[in-house]
Amino acid sequence: MSFALSKNISPTKVFLVCSSKLEQRWDPNYYRWMKVFRARVKNSQYPIERLKPSLALVQYGISERATGEPVGVPMLRMINLQSDTWHISDMKYIAMSDDEKKPYLLRQNDILFNRTNSKELVGKCCVFNLPGEYVFASYLIRVRLKQSELLPDYVTAYLASSLGRIQIDAVSRQIAGMTNINAEEIRDLLIPVPSRAVQERVAASWQEAIVRRDEMLASARSLLRRVDNMVLEELGINLTVTSPISIKARIFTTSLREVSGGRLDPEMVLFLRTERSCKYPTRRLAEFFSEPPQYGAGERGLDRETRQEPRYIRITDIDEFGRLSRDVGATATTVEKRYILRDGDLLVARSGNTVGKAYLHNAELQPYVCFYAGYLIRLRFDPARIEPEFVFAITQSSYYKTWVSAVQRSAGQPNINAEEYSGFQIPVPPKTVQRAIVTKMQSVRAEAEELQQRAFAEFEKAKKAIEALILGQEGSVA
């Protein structure tokens, strides 16, 4: 006996599946995407098997808090797993005895999964290949393969492909606004199993694609660093750099007149010396606001299959150079008017490891309605008094980053509030100089943007070729 929906009922609002096809999951998202996955692998030249028989260990990480003090063993966290590789410039450490750390010490070729994050970041994984001892935090899951038919680099290449992402999107669950994947769901993932020789080709192609992309992105970053040099030169700012190993660097002295607002810490006084080197007057940023600073919406954006408005900007949607990601994925049905962004609004991060990061909203480049997360602060300027693009240029300079380093407080994690942002002393050259700086910045950023887009386009093309190789369909991708 068969059953069909009435033509008057929208199939997007009703979920229908035969009870004999239920796989211990009741959510429509799982069946919708697994149907797509099975159609994609239907003509695979290799057997499709569950990951579970190839796993020797699946383990959650350490839940104890780590610190920035380099005492104990370094702990890998979500933030260290980025762009299919390891970023260890921002490390935390945890003091543990040999017996305590032994169960969590990573081995070469362990795979670490990001188990809790936004939808697009959950399931990101990377093979551990760093020298020395490391443990891992609770938001990561360690997977260790048996010495069998699957290579770790092949598994990560597969899971980074669209085939892997479809499955992860199917099995992951959203709880309290965050998306999660658990150990059992990782065990049940399906994977094509080609010969060892094919796996080695996939792994080699995957690593080559990452290296090529990262080389091009490094060139783009090098271009963007010219913005910093240009801003400092135009403003006459001299950043004093002292060797950290010198005796002078270990001793801090200042005169009483240099103390600002009761601040005696070396970082603030050094910033004030940098500020005084500017050849233009500096003024409090608050003098140029058209409205008071506004903290973002406390509610979370909702991950939806269809990209609708308004779209929700999180700090993870903003890259290190203040550009918005190519696809702001989270959306919501409604949002209060006060959280809607206008052209020229500046968003600044107020807490966490990305404190100080800034993004200037451009309504022409981002024509859809946007609102923003609660850990971002919106600054709105009067363009008659200052160029918003000039303020953004300053936030991309080491002058601003020196201030962020000096003013941030650490109450559990670094943070800067709206009042402190309001007190930022910004150099104020004539409007003609402001516009000249903006023009030069835009020229350099356009060149870097073109290189970055080419890097991502080539990387996506390489991923499609790798996916065809995984399915035994090499030559099917132009």
Q: What CATH code is carried by the domain that includes residue 247? A: 3.90.220.20
- Give domain status of residue 474, yes or no: no
For residues 46 and 117, state if they share a domain: yes
For residues 273 and 312, state if they share a domain: yes
Domain hosting 64: range is 25-193
Please tell me whether residue 330 adopts helix, strand or coil conformation: strand
For residues 185 and 234, state if they share a domain: no
Q: What's the structural domain count of the chain? A: 2
For residues 186 and 259, state if they share a domain: no
Q: Which two three-digit tokens encode residue 141?
A: 């899951």
In the block, which residue shows the tokens 């403003």?
A: 235
For residues 255 and 155, state if they share a domain: no
Interatomic CA distance for residues 372 and 349, integer angstroms:
11
- Give domain status of residue 418, yes or no: yes
SS3 track for 230-262? HHHHHHCCCCCCCCCCCCHHHCCCCCHHHCECC
At residue 242, the pLDDT reads: 45
For residues 188 and 228, state if they share a domain: no
Indicate the helix (H) or strand (E) that contains 168: helix 162-171
- Give domain status of residue 293, yes or no: yes
The C-alpha angle 49, 50, 51, rounded to 5 degrees, equals: 115
For residues 169 and 315, state if they share a domain: no
- Give domain status of residue 478, yes or no: no
At residue 96, the pLDDT reads: 93
| Residue-by-residue pLDDT tens, the chain, 478 positions | 566 667 776 666 666 666 666 666 677 778 888 889 999 999 999 999 999 999 999 999 999 888 878 889 999 998 888 878 898 877 889 999 999 999 999 999 999 999 887 777 788 899 999 999 999 999 999 999 998 789 999 999 999 999 999 999 888 887 766 788 888 999 999 999 999 999 999 999 999 999 999 999 999 989 888 888 899 999 999 876 444 445 555 454 555 554 555 555 667 777 777 888 899 999 999 999 999 999 987 655 555 444 556 787 888 788 877 888 766 656 666 677 788 889 999 999 998 778 899 999 988 877 777 888 888 999 999 999 999 999 999 999 989 998 998 888 766 678 899 999 999 999 999 999 999 999 999 999 899 989 988 999 999 999 999 999 999 987 655 4
For residues 123 and 159, state if they share a domain: yes
For residues 167 and 246, state if they share a domain: no
For residues 154 and 253, state if they share a domain: no
R_g of the chain computed on alpha carbons: 25
- Give domain status of residue 268, yes or no: yes
In the block, which residue shows the tokens 């950290």?
A: 244
- Give domain status of residue 466, yes or no: no
At residue 32, the pLDDT reads: 83
- Give domain status of residue 16, yes or no: no
At residue 179, the pLDDT reads: 81
- Give domain status of residue 445, yes or no: no
In the block, which residue shows the tokens 């693009």?
A: 389
For residues 398 and 268, state if they share a domain: yes
- Model pTM? 0.78
For residues 104 and 253, state if they share a domain: no
